[in-house]
Structure 1
């Protein structure tokens, strides 16, 4: 019995010693872990660096500052090496892409040259009568499909671009604004159409508000500031439209040059009108007659823009579906479509152009024979007349072109019916 008690006492003593050693070891490990937490957090993401830093930081005197600095240095060196590797890989990829693009560009130019040569040969043979018109028509259809696939797909950027012009270079410098992907080009075109829709509403709203305020609040006399703010907005509007249209032309859109020149003239007129003194009393109504007529013309222009945007966009979608227009074309210059649109739009457009010319003539009369003889009035009158004549000529040319196309289609259908 006594022997058993002695054995139990010895075992208890051994357990006490073991527990004491375990507790001391726990405290030592805890102190080391607290010291290790002083290392930067980035070291924990790299196991080799972390093990090396932990080994150096848990010496006899606790964690050292040199181990932390060494960890940061090795970390920065590792990231620098990774950045260099990524740079080299990106440079190699760009080099391969440039070589592939040059090869594709050469093929695209050769294909475009072959299409032009074959089209010229077909036209020459058809003119000389050495080819059947039916065969020539089939060949032209195939050529149209090939041109459409080349110009309307992602290969379009491989073809030579149109000159960007001095206007874009003046605002943006000698930069290439042509998108390499077709979806980006179409997004630019869609944003341009949406911008025209928004500005057409504002074009109608701003002059209407000015005329209403003149009658209700300003006692028939425009103050200078609201009119000049409207003219500043016109300058911004026409400048932004001209910029967007030049970008669209560089990306393959078939915008008639006149519409861009029209916006240049409108920009110049808005800029000059900002320096035009808006005279008040006495005889305010007579002095501001030109401003009233210009705002009335602006209201008519807003109505015409809304109608054009509505009808012409639908017409353009139809022409694109029929293959008669490109996806990058816009609604400028597409004067009318079906007969109902002709009956509605043409009278409005011709009336608007006539009224625009009338306002220009009136401004010249006021400047030459009236109380206001400022040079701004003369220049604005001349610009309005030039824009009215240009719009009229462009509208007539568009209608004549449509009539020729319709006559050609009618002749082809008649010939096909006779052959059958």
Structure 2
């Protein structure tokens, strides 16, 4: 007890000196941190200026090559080679740590509505890639659920519910779709801010799907009598959702390998993502394109059926008419985007074949 008291008395004598020393250390640390941050800020401004200057030079040279090519002032083969080199240089910039010094895309109103004025652009490349991997993982998980959820509903409809779906499980599925499409739209907007190549339409497509899921939650699911006729649109929608799940699984399985190859060749960025009609080899195109076109045609058919159901008075709620218009609109624009992408790919392949044939003739 006496020893403890003596130790406390010694501490009391030294405590003022130790507190003063800690305060001095805190001030020194603050001064060092301020000096470091000031130097880092100066270095960052220098790197940012260099990155912007180099990006401007790449854009200027690309424009110059296009102008020279249009006036036949440069050999087309040389122009293609130089354009490929410039694209490789840009990929090096965008895929490396220098990307954090380039101006990013502005955050849209959708992100501001959900997250407020928060900057979601990652300064480090490894963090950006983690965002992309999480997006891919989310798509993998939801693809399975997209296939299983409607399958279970249709099986239970035949085995337990005597061909007539109850309202609650269908509305539960619509609530899950609202959550799914909101999550996809948020992730895709964040990916775009961080340099991904996601097309605007696919994000707008998810906006439309969100609106449709929200409207469907207020749609009263009719039962008996004439349940089969009243729920024909719901049944076809569930069948379409199953097909969508199959297409998503095929895309996730086959397409990423092609993207990794394009990244290795310097023709794509590591933040880019894959889409259903962007297959890189003929075998994948032969498999996925028919599925996509059937899926889009079936989507339009479901929309037309909902419109007919509403106009004939079988189910006269405005939600049915609204969802029918959305289905038809999304099907038409999806089809147009798919055809446009395939035309671009066919032109690129024809260009590559012509270039290869010229090289063979010279040999």
**Could you say if the C-alpha distance between residues 334 and 106 of structure 1 is closer, same or farther in structure 2, counting changes exceeding 3 Å?**
farther
Give the secondary structure class of the aligned counterpart of 2:104: coil
Residues 247 and 276, structure 2, Cα contact 8 Å, conserved in 1: no
Q: How do residues 370-381 of structure 1 correspond to structure 2 at under 5 angstroms?
A: 370-381=313-324
Task: With the length of structure 2 as denominator, give the TM-score of the two structures.
Answer: 0.93
Residues 276 and 288, structure 2, Cα contact 8 Å, conserved in 1: no
Q: How do residues 278-317 of structure 1 correspond to structure 2 at under 5 angstroms?
A: 278-317=221-260
Separation in 2 of the partners of 1:253 and 1:226?
36
**Larger displacement relative to structure 2 (94-103 or 238-247):** 94-103
Q: Which residue of 2 aligns with 1:123?
A: 66
Q: How do residues 332-347 of structure 1 correspond to structure 2 at under 5 angstroms?
A: 332=275, 334-347=277-290
Q: How do residues 327-366 of structure 1 correspond to structure 2 at under 5 angstroms?
A: 327-332=270-275, 334-366=277-309
Structure (1 or 2) with the larger CA radius of gyration:
1
Q: How do residues 72-111 of structure 1 correspond to structure 2 at under 5 angstroms?
A: 78-111=21-54
Residues 104 and 193, structure 2, Cα contact 8 Å, conserved in 1: yes
**Could you say if the C-alpha distance between residues 129 and 293 of structure 1 is closer, same or farther in structure 2, counting changes exceeding 3 Å?**
closer
Separation in 1 of the partners of 2:77 and 2:339?
32
Separation in 2 of the partners of 1:166 and 1:335?
28
**Could you say if the C-alpha distance between residues 234 and 408 of structure 1 is closer, same or farther in structure 2, counting changes exceeding 3 Å?**
same
Q: Which residue of 1 aligns with 2:2?
A: 32
Q: How do residues 369-408 of structure 1 correspond to structure 2 at under 5 angstroms?
A: 369-408=312-351
Residues 333 and 398, structure 1, Cα contact 8 Å, conserved in 2: no
Q: Which has the higher contact order (CA 8 A, sep 6+)?
A: 2
CA shift for structure 1 position 359: 0.6
Separation in 1 of the partners of 2:88 and 2:323?
47
Choose which of 145, 157, 169 in structure 2 pairs with 1:214.
Answer: 157
Show structure 1 runs of 5+ residues with no match: 1-30, 40-52, 57-66
Give the secondary structure class of the aligned counterpart of 2:197: coil
Residues 164 and 228, structure 2, Cα contact 8 Å, conserved in 1: yes
Separation in 1 of the partners of 2:67 and 2:4?
92
Separation in 2 of the partners of 1:347 and 1:132?
39
Q: Which residue of 2 aligns with 1:170?
A: 113
Separation in 1 of the partners of 2:44 and 2:220?
56
Q: Which residue of 2 aligns with 1:223?
A: 166
Task: With the length of structure 1 as denominator, give the TM-score of the two structures.
Answer: 0.81
Separation in 1 of the partners of 2:229 and 2:276?
37
Q: Which residue of 1 aligns with 2:361?
A: 418
Choose which of 95, 98, 104 in structure 2 pairs with 1:155.
Answer: 98
Residues 313 and 331, structure 1, Cα contact 8 Å, conserved in 2: yes
CA shift for structure 1 position 328: 0.9
CA shift for structure 1 position 289: 1.7
**Could you say if the C-alpha distance between residues 138 and 394 of structure 1 is closer, same or farther in structure 2, counting changes exceeding 3 Å?**
closer
Separation in 1 of the partners of 2:355 and 2:185?
39
CA shift for structure 1 position 235: 0.3
User: What is the RMSD computed on CA atoms of the aligned residues?
Assistant: 2.0
Separation in 1 of the partners of 2:19 and 2:155?
68
CA shift for structure 1 position 170: 1.1
